[in-house]
Amino acid sequence: MIASTEIKTVHKIIIGDSRRMEELEDESVHLVVTSPPYPMIEMWDKLFRMLDERIDKIWTKMEVESSRKLRERYVKEIYNLMHENLAEVWKECYRVLIDGGIACINIGDATRSINGMFRLFPNHSKVIEHCESIGFVTLPYILWKKPTNKPKYKGKGAFLGSGFLPPNAYVTLDCEFILIFRKGEPRKFEPHDPLRYASAYTKEERDRWFTQIWEITGTKQTIEERRVASFPEEIPYRLIRMFSIIGDTVLDPFLGTGTTMKVAIELKRNSIGYEIDETLLPIIKEKVGITQKLLTSDYSVEIFKRRP
Ligand SMILES: C[S@@+](CC[C@H](N)C(=O)[O-])C[C@H]1O[C@@H](n2cnc3c(N)ncnc32)[C@H](O)[C@@H]1O
């Protein structure tokens, strides 16, 4: 029997665009845990415009267009194109996942006043539509409720006095989605697989984790005055424990600050992370222990930079 303490894991940081994951072979990943840039959330506008010149062109036309009807059409086109770009990554995730592998995608809907109209962009439903058309099986999802969000009035500040008068106030988005998909049939194991048994969760963990609402406080969103959209470690911690076993390989195609990789190291899973923004590398290195030379003989981290 293999003791989980004997497992040595390997972690790869790839600085490159995950719409193509040419470094990864088909069916080489057991679990995807990720959070993409959220379409129609202002902080990601620039990135989507840079990723796809069609988005940039339509956006520029929208800014000078006088017809409201046409501007509305452009908003829809931009929103759809943003999701088409994300879907390129979901397709690659499907390719690299093993049969029975699972993808957990954390995404929030967006609310925004655009063309003078406050509205919802239901990102979670677009991701479900795309993943289903790729071939994923949709499983019951989790609602991540962040206890810190306060109700808003007309999408702006907190509720004011008139916020008590019906009917023009809006419900606050205080939940994000953790969508869960599977490729094909459930995974099969040999009876009494030792690593599977060593990866078991407790009854208390099962009762807390396999419920639909997770109340978890968000994490600090600025590092050295830089805005980052990281999730708290508790999110990948639960998902990796729930949907993989020790020694598996976990992929995060939108690595950001490296939270998924940090947790994968701690949980003795191998991992791969793609990040397009090279300026995040120092933050990732710090999170996974390279900067502070915390590396032990239990794990190694390799960094690859894709040539343009
Ligand atoms: C919401 S953040 C992920 C945050 C991460 N979960 C964390 O805890 O730090 C999304 C990240 O995806 C990156 N990104 C966006 N498009 C990408 C692409 N096509 N390929 C690789 N990385 C991408 C962004 O630069 C950003 O760092």
Query: What domains are there in the chain, each with its CATH number?
Result: 4-305 (3.40.50.150)
Nearest protein CA to atom 13 of ligand 1, as residue: 254
**What atom in ligand 1 is closest to the CA of residue 231?**
8
Nearest protein CA to atom 12 of ligand 1, as residue: 254
CA distance 86 to 55: 13
pLDDT at 159: 56
Nearest protein CA to atom 3 of ligand 1, as residue: 256
Burial of 200: CB neighbours in 10 Å, binned 0-12, 13-18, 19+: exposed
Token output for 115: 């063309």
Furthest CA-CA distance within the chain: 71
Backbone angles phi, psi at 102, to 5 degrees: -120, 145
Beta pairing partners, 252:
273
**What atom in ligand 1 is closest to the CA of residue 88?**
19
pLDDT at 155: 52
Please give the distance, rounded to the nearest whole angstrom, from the Cα atom of residue 34 to the centre of ligand 1.
8
Please give the distance, rounded to the nearest whole angstrom, from the Cα atom of residue 294 to the centre of ligand 1.
24
HEC-encoded secondary structure of the chain:
CCCHHHCCEEEEEEECCCCCCCCCCCCCEEEEEECCCCCCCHHHHHHHHHHCHHHHHHHHHHHHCCCHHHHHHHHHHHHHHHHHHHHHHHHHHHHHEEEEEEEEEEECCEEEEECCEEEEECHHHHHHHHHHHHCCEEEEEEEEECCCCCCECCCCCECCHHHHCCCCCCCCCCEEEEEEEECCCCCCCCCCCHHHHHCCCCHHHHHHHCCCEEECCCCCCEECCEECCCCCCHHHHHHHHHHCCCCCEEEECCCCCCHHHHHHHHCCCEEEEEECCHHHHHHHHHHCCCCCCCCCCCEEEEEEECCC
Please give the distance, rounded to the nearest whole angstrom, from the Cα atom of residue 35 to the centre of ligand 1.
7
Please give the distance, rounded to the nearest whole angstrom, from the Cα atom of residue 70 to the centre of ligand 1.
31
Please identify which residue in the block is written with the tokens 């999170």.
287
CB under 6 Å to ligand 1: residues? Answer: 17-19, 35-37, 47, 228-231, 254, 256-257, 259, 274-277, 280
pLDDT at 151: 59
CA distance 187 to 209: 20
Residues of the chain with pLDDT under 50: 160
**What atom in ligand 1 is closest to the CA of residue 259?**
8
pLDDT at 290: 86
Sort strands 117-121 and 110-114 into parallel, antiparallel or unpaired.
antiparallel
Nearest protein CA to atom 7 of ligand 1, as residue: 230
Sequence-separated (6 or more) residues with CB below 8 Å from residue 285: 258, 291
The length of the chain, given as a count of residues: 308
pLDDT at 154: 55
CA 5 and chain centroid, separation = 29
pLDDT at 97: 98
CA distance 109 to 177: 8
pLDDT at 172: 87
Please give the distance, rounded to the nearest whole angstrom, from the Cα atom of residue 41 to the centre of ligand 1.
14
**Which tens digits make up the pLDDT trace of 282-293?**
999 999 988 777
Probe residue for ligand 1, chosen from 83, 254, 259 as the CB with the greatest number of ligand atoms within 8 Å: 254
Please give the distance, rounded to the nearest whole angstrom, from the Cα atom of residue 36 to the centre of ligand 1.
6
pLDDT at 170: 87
Sequence-separated (6 or more) residues with CB below 8 Å from residue 89: 18, 19, 36, 253, 254
Q: How many C-beta atoms surround the C-beta of residue 8 within 10 A?
A: 12
Token output for 139: 């499983």
Please give the distance, rounded to the nearest whole angstrom, from the Cα atom of residue 21 to the centre of ligand 1.
14
pLDDT at 86: 98
Please give the distance, rounded to the nearest whole angstrom, from the Cα atom of residue 255 to the centre of ligand 1.
5
pLDDT at 17: 98
pLDDT at 156: 57
Backbone angles phi, psi at 149, to 5 degrees: -65, 135
